[in-house]
Structure 1
Amino acid sequence: MTKPGLVYYKQLLFIFFCLFLVSFAKAQPQTITLKGTISEKGKNNTEHPVVAAKILFSKKVFSFTDKEGNFTLQIPDTAKRIIVQYSHVGNDTLQLTDLTKDLKIVYPMYQAIKDVVIRQKRFATEISLLTPQKSELISSKELLKAACCNLSESFETTPSVDVAFTDAVTGYKQIQLLGLAGPYTLITRENIPEVRGLASITGLTFTPGQWIEGMQLSKGTGSVVNGFEGLAGQINIELKKPMEGDNQFYNLYQSNQGRSEGNAYLRFEPKEKLYTNVFFHAKSQWMKVDQNHDHFIDQPMGNSLIAANRWMWFGKKGRELQLGVKYNTTNNWGGSEHFTKDENTKTSPYWGMKLKTNRLDAWSKIGKVYEEKPWKSMGLQLAFSNHLQDMTFGRKTYTADENSFYANYIFQSILKNTNRIIKAGATLSYTDRNEKVNGDRYQNNELVGGLFSEYAHTFSKKVNAVLGARVDYHHLYGVYFTPRFHIRYAPDDHVAIRASVGKAYRTATIFSENLGLFSTNRTVLIMPSKKDGVYGLQNEKAINSGVNATYKFKLNYRPGTLSADYYYTRFLNQAVADWEETQFVKFYNSKKLSYAHSLQVQLDYAPVRKLDVRLAYRLHDVQTTYGNTLQQKPLNAKHRAFINVSYETRNKWSFDYTVQWTGSKRIPSTAFNPEALRLPVSSPAFITMNAHINKAFASGIEVYGGVENLLNYMQKNPILDAENPFGSYFDGSLVWGPTMGRSGYLGVRFKKKDTIR
């Protein structure tokens, strides 16, 4: 029997698509042919035709003058202006008063002057002073300062993001923003949610860094257009576009620890205004490495393959279409150095681990820009993913599959003028997740539909703000009301002061977000608080507020940026992962005091040309009530400091050096362990250093190399009771520092710009 709620959402989905199709097929204005002639005054009052001048009505509607200076242009009968572009006048906007008459445009005599070259310094990471929400624009130049093998390894030179291993055996890394774990950050691919659910941790490895064109990183709650999640912030990934940039790109990478990688990228233009690109990635870890001599390999062996293809089409009358698909397959194994790939982890005398993952992502974007009203547009985002994983850890098993669907319709227009922009739309998402943990089954479905609206107002050059709200209905948790507000004040052209406040909701996927628990022999205890909730738990909700200031300056004629931000997060209901009892990991809801203070100060400065220096300090005070005791979140450094120095030479050598100081971290209590297996209350502070060198040649070839963890600093004994892997106290989750020692690497890149058809 069909559930009433499901019938309601099917009806909502049907209406949702009907509205889109009706608006998409809406009658357009009539098209007319505008004719004209463009000439230029010469000596003795003569006139000469202007050849090859570009006449634009919009980005996609344009024409050129012929050898007689004549042109024709198909435009709507409601057109008010066109733009003439050519070298002698630059951009000249012409108002159209009578479309029935041919235009005759005569420009004055051109007199050449000596060329003036203007150079402006651009940092690899830029912060705009104009937007209400602070956003760090991370370019591909920033990403190439390191080997940057996948998304989880793309933040080595970004002080806003912390990266740490989830445990000592799986090799997976987790990011942190504002001191909160990665799942509290909304990670999107071109504003479509991607790293979530079963992929909350593993999904960071599914996007190779060499595929990324750039990223936008924002802290605090973001736009309601992107959903009700993203408590700590948003990281939006931009892949290489098929209509611009290099036509071919290849990359080979090899480390001295047996990690080999290859990337290939090709883009094509099969026909005018139709573009496509293909991405390939292959990785192999073929060498066993045990640098800390605990008889467990530091990085899993195995292989992974990732491929993607994207199409973009720009049609008439402002219509646009994008289609994309990405597939990932990973097969890793590890654990004891004596464990072999063909052994059964359940019967082997050695502790072994096997990780198999297959994931398919498909997406589409359908959009329209009204050419006669360029400030008016609408778009539909669609995404589907299928995720399968089969994991075994010693005697433990974790298998899961997940199917998810996402649709987001966005309409944008103005109220009277472009200083008042409004967005509105609807979102529908569905997730079907099945997990089996050591024989226990967990089947969870989530169906959420919602409406949103966002209003952006520019009061003056100094003040602008964005107010947004959305209402969603979750079929398990009821109504979500998500208000958010951002405001910017700029006392002058060099300073921007911003503030934000907003609410966020989230459903915790407790097993995929805490993969480290499978590298232990702890018993999992779930303490239910809502019978029909996901895992029997309530949803999470919290409020985030923050303020930040950015100052762009020049010192000794050299540019710099000084920024400071502070954010406060207060949980109203939190799904707590409690590791405070040695032989257990508990999951329960808590409405008791839980908060995070985050403070960061950062300076970017170029003291001499081509030398960039970045200094940062970060304070994270993250407190959670475990049981009845408010404590610092474990394995989370309260203090961090960061230095990055980059230098480029005129002959295309570039050097990058990064130093990070990580303060002490609280270690979960081991007080009830046998004395020989007790750990200190907190970890020592430590320093890590990375260095990277790159040389670019005119032929399009680049060679690079570097060293990670230059000081060879490693956490001693990251696995507790490693000699007794099937005993009660075996624990590989208490990782506070690097688990891998010094690593060197070499690589080569090749770029080619020739057009491919």
Structure 2
Amino acid sequence: MQKIILLFLFIFIFHQAQAQQFKVQGLVTTNEPAQKATVSLLELKRTTITDSAGKFTLDKVKAGIYYLKVSMLGYRSLTVKLDLKKDTTLAQLKLESLDENLNEVVVTGTQKEVNRLESPVPVEIYTAKFFKKNPTPSIFDALQNVNGVRPQLNCNICNTGDIHINGLEGPYTMVLIDGMPIVSSLSTVYGLSGIPNALVERIEVVKGPASSLYGSEAVGGLINIITKKVQNAALFSADAMATGYGEYNADLGFKLNLNKKVSFLTGLNYFKFGNRVDHNHDGFTDVTLQDRISIFQKWNIDCKKNRLFSLAGRYLYEDRWGGEMNWNKSFRGGDQRYGESIYTRRFELIGNYQLPIEEKIFLAFSLTDHDQDSRYGTTSYIAQQKIAFGQLTWDKKIGINDLLIGTALRYTYYDDNTPATASKDLVNSPEKIFLPGIFIQDEIKVAKTHSILAGLRYDYNSVHGNIFTPRLAYKWSVNEKNIIRLNAGTGFRVVNIFTEDHAALTGAREVVISNELKPERTYNVNLNFLKKIYLKNGSFVGLDLSAFYTYFNNRIIGDFDTNPNEIRYDNLDGHAVSKGLTANVDVAFSSGLKITAGLTYQDVGFVEKGIKQQQILTEKFSGTWAISYKINQLNLGIDYTGNVYSPMRLPLLGDLDPRRPYSPTWSIQNIQLVYDGFKNIEIYGGVKNLLNFTPNKGTPFIIARANDPFDKNVKFNAGGQVIPTADNPYGLTFDPSYVYAPNQGIRGFLGVRLTIK
């Protein structure tokens, strides 16, 4: 009887506890208190609205486990798991904007901090979060998911590459780090792969003319890599990843506050790939072996009146090689085993200082030192490049005029062991170029919804003389949801074949420069339309449409076709044109599903003697996508990313070459799962190249004459043409330049991230 009474007493107490009612309250914010946000307890179908201070209260709620959902028009819904045992006050619930990138502050278009929607120059923003959807060991690889931007491999053996924007090759793209032009010329080819993702706050991309503000190299567009601000960085972070191919990448970062005014951020990146892979069975490594370390440090010093002073430095060392599977360093530079071995040492220093005066005057500077020791078979390429850059800018508003006035000086020292730095009597003569310049930019608000930006830059090149690069931009804000921008300008580019075109060094082709090369001149125009659409269900759609046109005079073309044993460089006797359309679509559903997709059509070719020809290694159509969804109940995120490219013309060695003249339509697709259920830890993994696409499929071979890389058994006639023989029926020489896509097939990856705020 006593046991029965105790049982009933227990049931009664338990029932009373369950019946007890509690109060749930909290604060909802965006960047400010969120008024009229909807707060719901899903299981109870109870709903309330936040007040003008962003606060809410739900009372008379029984104990239990619930999911509390917060939603507001224009913002991503937030769901929180709630185990209610007593009155609960939730910490600040911050909603993320569905169009967060549109409201970002950008600096690249005008060299001023401005809201992206207010910029007269269209700027695309890609945050570190975007690149985590497809984790990669370097910026070069990460850019494969940016619409209209394509990392292009230029060699099957050493896997060097460049970045194409809207079909224009790498030398037409200026790459900046924190606004400083320190990745150029020699390092455009060899330095991009050494920039680790862990350093990146965001990447800003400008497609089209930018020469009037950034100088003569920004012809096709520019990529500005914004590194993390010291004050926003985590106290400690670590990210380690491995792939089934045997690639290992590790990023470490930590922040230290020396005192109230001085703090610094240190980053360390190490990448290792030492697995010799030959899945296409040609006797050569499919993927270059690499051993790379990068050390980065950024200092932030708080000055009076919040004036800016930051200083950053980076050191990079890389040892990479590709070649015959049985090559080792004892064969370096010899003709017994073919290998391409590149040692790179690079140092960078970047600074930005706001002068201690009332006017907004900034002094920015950078120093780079790039040393490279390379062997391409028996060809030796040893080069050193030093660049010093300084720029003084004055930011001044006078009435309706928003002025930026500046002066810049760039000094470039370049020396190598090729004819590029040899005088007529073959005496070594390093290239030393002074490039002083001045520029002025004025943004005028002619009406509430109309603004005009006019700019003019004058540079004096110590070799080529005067350079004028004007610029004009117009922005019409039709309303808050529709913006039209028109940009036009000119560009000027001086070419160094050996630092910009890897094909000039590798393989057995002879480099022939027919005449003294003249600088290229371009004329650019870009029309952009941006539209925001807010749907009734709380979802958001962003459309970004552009049309572009670039006309070239004196375009320098590498002729691979006239003589299969040569690459002939000369100014085009005619003109070249790059034109096309791009479209970016961002869809963010209130449920948390987000889709980012892009499509580019481009027609890039040159006209000589009335005959038009498509530019080599340039696709007509390309597309990219990233689809992400978070299952909050499982703390699991899913990312599906990919790209697709239409056929592009490939470099053949003659009429008998059996390889196809155009690539097929090809696609690289990836999937990733991210679990963040642990405190401060994310575990991620997935599969890259789901379709297992490699460029060797459908073609008899990728590297021409891989069995005879030194052309010891190739027969030539008196005119230097290859004679087909039984051993060489197609009349080919050794050449690794037939490349358009990575050789890595399907592979898994697994990684872990640790972040301590």
TM-score range, shorter chain: 0.7 to 0.9
Residue identity matched to 2:283: H
- Cα distance, 1:615 vs. partner? 2.9
Q: Quick check: 1:485–1:502 contact (8 Å CA) kept in 2?
A: yes
Q: Quick check: 2:154–2:740 contact (8 Å CA) kept in 1?
A: no
Deviation by residue 1:213-259 (Cα, 9 ceiling, x = unmatched): 11111111137333233111121111111112311111111111111
1:457 matched to which residue of 2? 444
Deviation by residue 1:424-474 (Cα, 9 ceiling, x = unmatched): 010100101011139984732211111111001123332122111011111
Residue identity matched to 1:377: K
Residue identity matched to 1:433: Y
Please tell me whether residue 153 in structure 1 is matched to residue 141 in structure 2.
yes
Distance 1:125 1:584 in 2: 51
Structure 1's consecutive aligned runs of 4 or more residues displaced over 6 angstroms after TM superposition are: 110-113
Distance 1:733 1:125, change over 3 A: farther
1:544 matched to which residue of 2? 524
SS in 1 for 2:56: coil
SS in 2 for 1:423: strand
- Cα distance, 1:327 vs. partner? 0.6
Q: Quick check: 2:652–2:738 contact (8 Å CA) kept in 1?
A: no
Please tell me whether residue 523 in structure 1 is matched to residue 504 in structure 2.
no
1:569 matched to which residue of 2? 550
2:623 matched to which residue of 1? 641
- Cα distance, 1:86 vs. partner? 12
- Cα distance, 1:684 vs. partner? 1.7
Residue identity matched to 1:593: H
Please tell me whether residue 751 in structure 1 is matched to residue 731 in structure 2.
no
Distance 1:735 1:196 in 2: 23
Please tell me whether residue 471 in structure 1 is matched to residue 446 in structure 2.
no
Distance 1:112 1:333, change over 3 A: closer
2:87 matched to which residue of 1? none
Q: Quick check: 2:332–2:375 contact (8 Å CA) kept in 1?
A: no
- Cα distance, 1:123 vs. partner? 5.4
Please tell me whether residue 579 in structure 1 is matched to residue 579 in structure 2.
no
* Residue in structure 2 matching 1:333, options 318, 321, 328: 321
1:144 matched to which residue of 2? 132
Between 218-227 and 355-364, report the one with greater CA deviation: 218-227
Q: Quick check: 1:169–1:519 contact (8 Å CA) kept in 2?
A: no
Distance 1:125 1:695 in 2: 23
User: Number of matched residues?
Assistant: 632
1:597 matched to which residue of 2? 579
- Cα distance, 1:172 vs. partner? 2.3
SS in 1 for 2:171: helix
- Cα distance, 1:573 vs. partner? 2.2
Q: Quick check: 1:718–1:739 contact (8 Å CA) kept in 2?
A: no
1:126 matched to which residue of 2? 101
Distance 1:608 1:472, change over 3 A: same
* Residue in structure 2 matching 1:396, options 371, 379, 398: 379
Distance 2:624 2:71 in 1: 32
SS in 2 for 1:156: helix
Between 551-560 and 189-198, report the one with greater CA deviation: 551-560
Mapping for residues 22-33 of structure 1, pairs under 5 Å: none
Between 544-553 and 320-329, report the one with greater CA deviation: 320-329
Distance 2:666 2:709 in 1: 28
- Cα distance, 1:382 vs. partner? 1.1
Distance 1:388 1:156, change over 3 A: same
- Cα distance, 1:401 vs. partner? 0.5
Q: Quick check: 2:188–2:500 contact (8 Å CA) kept in 1?
A: yes
Q: Quick check: 1:146–1:156 contact (8 Å CA) kept in 2?
A: no
Distance 1:223 1:667 in 2: 30
- Cα distance, 1:370 vs. partner? 5.9
Distance 2:576 2:385 in 1: 30
Mapping for residues 687-698 of structure 1, pairs under 5 Å: 687-698=667-678
Deviation by residue 1:467-493 (Cα, 9 ceiling, x = unmatched): 110111111111111101111112121
Unaligned runs of 5+ in 1: 1-84, 90-109, 530-536
Distance 1:184 1:634, change over 3 A: same
Distance 1:115 1:411 in 2: 47
* Residue in structure 2 matching 1:250, options 226, 229, 238: 238
1:304 matched to which residue of 2? 292
Distance 2:395 2:419 in 1: 49
Distance 2:137 2:179 in 1: 22
Distance 1:733 1:270, change over 3 A: same
Mapping for residues 348-427 of structure 1, pairs under 5 Å: 349-368=336-355, 376-416=359-399, 419-427=400-408
1:700 matched to which residue of 2? 680
1:509 matched to which residue of 2? 496
- Cα distance, 1:709 vs. partner? 1.4
* Residue in structure 2 matching 1:722, options 703, 706, 709: 706
Distance 1:367 1:464 in 2: 27
Using structure 1 for the length normalisation, give the TM-score: 0.79
- Cα distance, 1:627 vs. partner? 8.1
Between 616-625 and 390-399, report the one with greater CA deviation: 616-625
Distance 1:318 1:111 in 2: 31
Q: Quick check: 2:640–2:672 contact (8 Å CA) kept in 1?
A: yes
Distance 2:371 2:582 in 1: 39
Distance 2:519 2:100 in 1: 35
Deviation by residue 1:566-614 (Cα, 9 ceiling, x = unmatched): 1100012222222223211122223511110121122221245211122
Distance 1:667 1:599 in 2: 23
1:228 matched to which residue of 2? 216
1:115 matched to which residue of 2? 56
- Cα distance, 1:290 vs. partner? 1.4
RMSD of aligned Cα (Å): 2.5
Distance 2:395 2:55 in 1: 44
Residue identity matched to 2:582: Q
Unaligned runs of 5+ in 2: 1-30, 36-50, 58-69, 77-96, 103-115, 423-428, 715-732
Residue identity matched to 1:595: V
